[in-house]
Every structure is written in C-alpha cells, then in structure tokens.
Structure 1
Amino acid sequence: MSDPSDDQPIPGAEWRTIVANVPLVSVNLVVEYDGGILLGKRENEPANGEWFVPGGTVLKNERLTEAVHRVAADELGCTIEIVESLGVFEHFYDTAELSGIDSKHYVANGFVVKPTSEPTVSDDQHDGLRVVSEPYPELHPYVQRYLNER
C-alpha cells in the first residue's frame, strides 16, 4: 500500500516531518449550491467519514485565492466565484492520514464560493457530495462554525 504522503508536492519523508511538527495552512470552501451548502463525505483522515467542506493545503508561493480555485477544480471538478472570506479558523484533529502520526493542526482560511460550472466528485478525497439546507443537520463542529460565520 502506498503512503498518502507520496501524493503530496513535498516528498514523503519531508511531508511526514511537517505534519508531525508544523501547523498546515489551508483553505476551506463553503460552497453555496442548489439552495444550500455542498458537502463531501471524507474518504481519508482527518475527519474520515464526515460530511465536510472541500479544502486543501496552500502550496508555497500560491496565493490563498489561487488555492481556493485549485481546490475547487481538484476536489469538485468545477470553476467557482469567490463570494467572501470568512477569516481564519484553527482546526485540531486527533488523527492524521499518516501512520505513526496521531494529530494534525490546520490554520484554515474559510471562503464562501459559488460554482460557475457543475460540481462533481473528481478525486479520492470524497465518497460523495450532498447539499444541506437550514435547519442544518448535525454536522462536524468545524463545518458548523463555517456555517455560523456566513
């Protein structure tokens, strides 16, 4: 079985050191779609099996807004319009996708976005997509925080 860190733009051993020791800068997308918010069912840690907003780490020399567009293309196969920034959130997880690493810390930048093309599952991050509307079902606390901020 291959190590998930092999799929990162940073070589596996270096990625393991970073995840084990450094907070990761990320973007998370609150996707306004079809009268609600589009969520993906996570296929990996952290938050495996949870309905969560799409997101990903920011690459070196990549602007936050560039990362938002890249994540939308990679995870949803669509183009988007950025509506607003929700600000910075901290996410602490007791799991990570790497064996032997028991936690993950993100400095997450939340953005409200609207698709300008049809979203679909386009990578191995999600098992499926669904739209949730108010009153929102019970969701992961970090997702709920994004929804409360918009």
Structure 2
Amino acid sequence: MSDLRNQTDEQNTRIPDDEWETIVANVPLVSVDLVIRHKGGVLLGLRENEPARGEWFVPGGTVFKNETLTDAVHRVADEELGVDVSIESRLGTFQHFYDTSEVEGVDSKHYLATAFEVTLDNEHVTMDTQHSQLKVFEPPYEGLHPYVKRYLDALD
C-alpha cells in the first residue's frame, strides 16, 4: 500500500516522520485496494515493504484528505502500475490488522480498506518500488495472503 508519509497534500508538504508515527500508532488508515481482473485471473504484486512484505498482494494505498475513494483508485493505479483502470464494482470495506509496520517503534498497523474490482485500461503496466514482481494468479487461488483471499471470495 502506498505510504501516505511519502505523499504530499495540496500545499505540497510532507507529513513529518513523528506525526506519521503518531498516526500509524493511533489511527486506522483509510485506504483503497485494487483487485485487478486480468487475463482470466487477478494481477498481484510481490510486496517489498511492510506490511505484508514478501506476500503476493493487491495494489493499494492510503486515501488522501479531501480525495474521493474513486479518485484514490485512479491515483493508486497510476502511481503503482503506471496505468489507469476502469472500476467494475465496489467489493466492500475490509479491516486489516498487521503485526508489523514500516514505522520504527510502531509494531502494528490497522487499515480500513475499501476494495474495488477493476480492469486495466491498457496492457503497459510498470511496477513501482513497492513490488519486485507482478503476476497473474488464476483460480483456484491457493497460498495467498488471507486478506487477498477475502477479496477473491468477494468477487464470486
């Protein structure tokens, strides 16, 4: 998921590390996740950052203040994959609890993630640094992170 700490707001200012630590330590993060239907399966990325480092996971990111969920979906698709997407459906809002965090001194992370089923508007996908690989997974979906499996169950 995109790290809001590295993003900028309308005034083009970065959230200072100590404030980001306070947010992650005390507040659930509102985010969007993209369940990308592609070539008979679902496109997942191998995560390079916490939480869920080393897991095949859907692209996603934190929603900015004053940003709609659908605007966040399009921004995340552009930032993480270099493409736009078409939203097919809203799968619902899911709670994710992690026992890890990228923030030193904070040992957990909590997301309220709204998942969207999407399709790619073109085939020219480029990875960001959060993923080391992209791969299409086809049914039956086995060995995936439990939160990804919940999304895939919601597709049916």
Per the normalisation by structure 1, the TM-score is: 0.93
Q: Give every structure 1 segment of 4 or more consecutive aligned residues whose post-TM-superposition deviation is greater than 4 Å.
A: none
State the match for 2:74 in structure 1: 69
When residues 12 and 5 of structure 1 are mapped into structure 2, their CA distance, relative to the original with a 3 A threshold, is farther
Tell me which of 127, 131, 144 is aligned to 1:139: 144
Counterpart residue type for residue 32 of structure 1: R
State the match for 2:83 in structure 1: 78
State the match for 2:121 in structure 1: 116
When residues 44 and 16 of structure 1 are mapped into structure 2, their CA distance, relative to the original with a 3 A threshold, is same
CA distance in structure 2 between the aligned counterparts of 1:83 and 1:28, rounded to whole angstroms: 13
CA distance in structure 2 between the aligned counterparts of 1:29 and 1:6, rounded to whole angstroms: 20
User: What do the CA deviations read for 1:42-95 (whole angstroms, capped 9, x no partner)?
Assistant: 010000000000000000000000000000000011110000000110000000
CA distance in structure 1 between the aligned counterparts of 2:121 and 2:60, rounded to whole angstroms: 18
Q: 3-state DSSP class of the match of 2:128?
A: coil
When residues 23 and 6 of structure 1 are mapped into structure 2, their CA distance, relative to the original with a 3 A threshold, is closer
Q: Does 1:89 align with 2:94?
A: yes
Q: Conserved in 1, the CA contact under 8 Å of 2:33 and 2:58?
A: yes
Query: Deviation of residue 12 (structure 1)?
Result: 1.7
Query: Deviation of residue 118 (structure 1)?
Result: 2.0
Q: Does 1:14 align with 2:19?
A: yes
CA distance in structure 1 between the aligned counterparts of 2:23 and 2:38, rounded to whole angstroms: 34
When residues 119 and 43 of structure 1 are mapped into structure 2, their CA distance, relative to the original with a 3 A threshold, is farther
When residues 18 and 43 of structure 1 are mapped into structure 2, their CA distance, relative to the original with a 3 A threshold, is same
Runs (5+) with no aligned partner, structure 2: 9-14
Runs (5+) with no aligned partner, structure 1: none
- Aligned residue pairs, count: 147
Q: Does 1:23 align with 2:36?
A: no
